[in-house]
Amino acid sequence: MSKIPFNKPFIAGKELYYIAQAVALGNIGGDGHFTRCCAALMEQRFGVGKILMTPSCTSALEMAGILCGLGPGDEVILPSYTFVSTASAICRVGAKPVFVDIRPDTLNLDERLVESAITPATKAIFPVHYAGVSAEMDTLLQLAARHDLWVVEDAAQGVNASYGKQSLGSLGHFGTFSFHETKNYMCGEGGALAINDPQFIQRAEIIRDKGTNRSQFFRGEVDKYTWVDIGSSYVPSEIACAFLYGQLEMMDEIADRRRQIYARYSFLLEDLQQAGILQRPHIPSGCQSNYHMFYILLEDGPTRDALLDHLRSRDIHAVFHYIPLHLSPVGRTFGYNDGDLPVTERVSRCLLRLPFYHELTREAQEMIVTEIRSFLLGRRNNRLAA
Ligand SMILES: *Cc1c(COP(=O)(O)O)cnc(C)c1O
């Protein structure tokens, strides 16, 4: 049996050609032709006023934190069940992460628990669109408006997904995207900041370019460029953007394939959900997923761990995530303990992500599910007999 990896970066076709073109154009630094192409394509497709390409989603989150004016003494509400960057970007600007539990269906920030976490120090909410399925944005945006909070969407996994008619990343004050090689559209490492409130555009351009007004200089708006604010090196290489443009151009084809893979897993696993053996992902009506991943929730941690080992023994590389951030070494320094966020902690023990990549074949999916089925039914029968 040949090995089934967890992820396999997909080359859509023109990536290397565009890199060669970038080299031929003579500008492989920042903000060249392909950087502008990527930003324009996403501004148009996602209905975002301004997209700034960045080296990663993490750097876009850091920029959002700076632009929101977050600092020491400020609190930011976010899920604990997320990748480290959502929280590390908040700490990077000196603010304090306040972790709230997730909904058991979408595994997104539980909007019903947010209001009670708001204090006079709360300045922002950073919802995450887990697996490319939107958090409950109407409720979160209403809460934010009522309490005068910034909303930064961590849409790292939500590129080309939507909530109602609006693209993820276009709903909050800011949205952040990732083009890491594990994401739907990728260039190895890459990201973008979506700015939905025009008052921030000018300062964002400055922070992104080492605190200089170079963007205004290139547009001819000022006659020299100089140091005007804090900032960092948040401009990606034109080479990465050239590669990414080859992927973004094929967005619909890539999305179609992911939808097929997701639908097949969902279909093949339906009876196991009906038998109460596992839970498949849930997409609320009104949310359009980008099918970033397919996961299953098992009945307990030992079952998840045993299934993971079983699949590995068959050379099928399923993976789990996340270690809850509130229980990480840094998270605990904020005073969190085991049991504080029960849904997060259960999901962390029970979730398994299945192999998911463009070239995953129907036969491979059938084989993966056959292994899952025989293992889980066997385990259940053994328990019943005991
Ligand atoms: C991947 C991911 C990130 C980090 O993205 P990078 O581009 O690697 O910085 C942040 N948040 C979430 C939810 C992610 O899945």
Do 224 and 359 sit in the same domain of this protein? Answer: no
For the record, the structure tokens of 230 come out as: 């804090």
Do 232 and 346 sit in the same domain of this protein? Answer: no
Substitution candidate for ligand 1 out of 62, 78, 81, 83 with most atoms within 8 A of CB: 83
Do 264 and 301 sit in the same domain of this protein? Answer: yes
98 falls in which pLDDT band (50, 70, 90)? very high
Closest CA to 243 of 28, 74, 7: 28
Query: Domain for residue 8, yes or no?
Result: no
Q: Is 157 in the pocket of ligand 1 (CB under 6 A)?
A: yes
Query: Domain for residue 244, yes or no?
Result: yes
32 falls in which pLDDT band (50, 70, 90)? very high
Q: Is 80 in the pocket of ligand 1 (CB under 6 A)?
A: no
What is the DSSP secondary-structure string of 130-148?
GGG----HHHHHHHHHHHT
CATH number at residue 355: 3.90.1150.10
For residues 72-76, give the mean pLDDT: 98
Where is the domain boundary, 207, 232, 248?
A: 248
Q: Whose CA is nearest to atom 14 of ligand 1?
A: 156
Closest CA to 356 of 10, 11, 7, 9: 7
CATH number at residue 159: 3.40.640.10
Query: Domain for residue 83, yes or no?
Result: yes
Closest CA to 239 of 27, 36, 62: 27
Q: Is 158 in the pocket of ligand 1 (CB under 6 A)?
A: no
Q: For position 158, what pLDDT does the model report?
A: 98
For residues 113-139, give the mean pLDDT: 98
**Percentage of the chain lying above the pLDDT 70 cut:** 100
Q: For position 280, what pLDDT does the model report?
A: 98
For residues 61-76, give the mean pLDDT: 98
Query: Domain for residue 280, yes or no?
Result: yes
Domain count, the chain: 2
Do 193 and 281 sit in the same domain of this protein? Answer: no
Residue 154 burial (CB count, 10 A): 34
Query: Domain for residue 6, yes or no?
Result: no
For residues 28-57, give the mean pLDDT: 97
Do 193 and 279 sit in the same domain of this protein? Answer: no
Question: Ligand 1 centroid vs 378 CA: distance in angstroms?
Answer: 37
Q: For position 85, what pLDDT does the model report?
A: 98
123 Cβ neighbours under 8 A, 6+ residues apart: 68, 69, 70, 74, 75, 76, 95, 149, 150
Do 79 and 172 sit in the same domain of this protein? Answer: yes
For residues 154-161, give the mean pLDDT: 98
| Distance of alpha carbon 180 from alpha carbon 159, whole angstroms | 12
Q: Do the Cβ atoms of 156 and 230 come closer than 8 Å?
A: no
Where is the domain boundary, 191, 219, 248?
A: 248
| Distance of alpha carbon 352 from alpha carbon 294, whole angstroms | 9
Which tens digits make up the pLDDT trace of 189-232?
999 999 999 999 999 999 999 999 999 999 999 999 999 999 99
Q: Which atom of ligand 1 is nearest to the CA of 157?
A: 15
Query: Domain for residue 211, yes or no?
Result: yes
Do 177 and 302 sit in the same domain of this protein? Answer: no
Do 201 and 139 sit in the same domain of this protein? Answer: yes
Query: Domain for residue 5, yes or no?
Result: no
263 falls in which pLDDT band (50, 70, 90)? very high
* pTM > 0.85: yes or no: yes
Q: Is 128 in the pocket of ligand 1 (CB under 6 A)?
A: yes
Do 209 and 313 sit in the same domain of this protein? Answer: no
Q: Is 237 in the pocket of ligand 1 (CB under 6 A)?
A: no
Residue 264 has pLDDT above 90, yes or no: yes
Question: Ligand 1 centroid vs 180 CA: distance in angstroms?
Answer: 7
1 falls in which pLDDT band (50, 70, 90)? low
Where is the domain boundary, 185, 214, 248?
A: 248
**Percentage of the chain lying above the pLDDT 90 cut:** 98
Closest CA to 70 of 49, 91, 85: 91
Q: Do the Cβ atoms of 153 and 174 come closer than 8 Å?
A: yes
CA torsion, points 265, 322, 359, 294, in degrees to nearest 10? 20
Summary mean pLDDT of the chain: 97
Q: For position 384, what pLDDT does the model report?
A: 87
Do 163 and 181 sit in the same domain of this protein? Answer: yes
Alpha carbon 341 to chain centroid, angstroms: 21
Residue 2 has pLDDT above 80, yes or no: no
Query: Domain for residue 373, yes or no?
Result: yes
Do 258 and 376 sit in the same domain of this protein? Answer: yes
Q: Which domain holds residue 33?
A: 15-100+107-248
Q: For position 40, what pLDDT does the model report?
A: 98
Residue 245 has pLDDT above 70, yes or no: yes
Residue 386 has pLDDT above 90, yes or no: no
Which tens digits make up the pLDDT trace of 374-384?
999 999 999 88
Do 235 and 283 sit in the same domain of this protein? Answer: no
